[in-house]
Structure 1
Amino acid sequence: MAETNGAAEAPTEAPQAPKMNVLAQFIRDLSFENILAQKGVSGEVQPEIQVQVNLDAKKRSAENQYEVVMKLKVDSKSAAAKEQLFLLELDYAGVFNIEGIPEDQMHPFLLIECPRMLFPFVRRVVSDVTRDGGFPPLNLETIDFVALYRTELQRRQAEMAGQKADA
């Protein structure tokens, strides 16, 4: 037990604990093209898969509400002939109520923590769509959103430095 030296502890104004609720999540846009079936290619094909991820976040008109969109592009080509097998494009959005995050930390929170919450659902959609599209289900590797955020910051800083050098 902690001693209070006989004096009652004065209540202190503690900072509000961060709080996040997912209010909604949905597929905003989805496109899947089975190019392999359209061309009529048959036989064993070894796929080479590239995944591109872009994130976007914006404040909504309601207080403490934000929308985060994960844009995923999955491009699969045959390893040998480099022929297109399939192309999947998915925009998956989430609406979040976020409280208790300082303004200077909101940007990384929106682009790291919110996509982490959406990712398991994005992974399931990709798996289901590729399976239903005639391919083995594609189970996406876990995405390191912290590294993705840092890479994007570095890219923007380099871009800004390049613009200043041109001026």
Structure 2
Amino acid sequence: MKQIKGGLSRGRAGVMIAGVLLLVGCCDEAALEACRQQQAQMAQLAPVEVAQGTRSSAGPFLLEAKSSSDVALEAEVVNAGCDGSKGHGAEVKVSWKVSRSGVNGVRITVAEGSAAGKLWMEGGAVGEGVTGPWINDGSRLVLEDQVSGTILAEVSAIAQACDGGGAR
């Protein structure tokens, strides 16, 4: 076999490349399966009524929420600005009360679009919090059981057209 610069033969280099591609394929498959499981959990959640901050002094945002039947959830925009012609940089107040047996604490993550969420806060089965001014169009707040990771509720932010104000 012909040696490649650095001492590897073409055959060994090919095997190494094939191994790396196989590992990448496995990782992608695992991530895809985790995404499918999360989507299945979200499909089981029922829509709930939430406070909406659309076209108020807080700015043009619509909040949509889903939760399981044993989670009381409220969300409202407390402040927002405009970036061009759409709402941008909202602060959202979220209140929850989980009555599901065995759930003593929650974790709330923030995600943009389909990206994985980042931890925003952890709290008890009953609580509330106000985000910073970083909720934008497509942002999602996901309420999970702190122990099992089961999704209990989700709030999605949808930016609406600004009505001329443009600033906070």
TM-score by length of 2: 0.29
TM-score by length of 1: 0.29
Structure that is richer in strand per residue: 2
